[in-house]
């Protein structure tokens, strides 16, 4: 009966080790998947943020380019164009 007990302990010990390692690997795998998913989520957020920023930046450039038109007198533009024509470009 001692041999039976020993076999039982060995088998249960092996099963416990297998289960523990499996559980550990499962937890690690789950964490890895979570980390990857979070990274993808953050990356997509970052892309959206950058896109929004670049669109806003474009709008600022457009606003900046549009604004001087009102502040400059039209004659100034005329002079530039006439200079270009006189230089034969």
Mean pLDDT of the 54-75 span: 60
Which pLDDT score is estimated for 2? 76
pLDDT, one tens digit per residue, over 12-58 is: 888 888 888 888 888 888 888 888 888 888 888 888 888 888 777 66
Which pLDDT score is estimated for 81? 53
CA distance 86 to 57: 36
In Å, how far are 2, 68, 70 from 81, measured between CA atoms?
107, 17, 18
The larger pLDDT score, comparing residue 15 to residue 76, is at 15
Q: Give the pLDDT band of residue 82 (cuts 50, 70, 90).
A: low
Query: Per residue, what are the HEC states of 40-79?
Result: HHHHHHHHHHHHHHHHHHHHHHHHHHHHHHHHCCHHHHHH
């Amino acid at each position: 009966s001692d041999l039976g007990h020993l076999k039982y302990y060995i088998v249960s010990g092996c099963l416990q080790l297998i289960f523990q390692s499996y559980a550990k690997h499962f937890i690690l795998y789950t964490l890895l998947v979570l980390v990857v998913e979070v990274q993808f989520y953050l990356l997509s957020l970052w892309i959206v943020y950058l896109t929004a920023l670049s669109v806003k930046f474009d709008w600022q450039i457009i606003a900046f380019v549009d604004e001087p038109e009102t502040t400059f007198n039209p004659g100034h533009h005329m002079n530039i164009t006439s200079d270009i024509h006189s230089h034969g470009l």
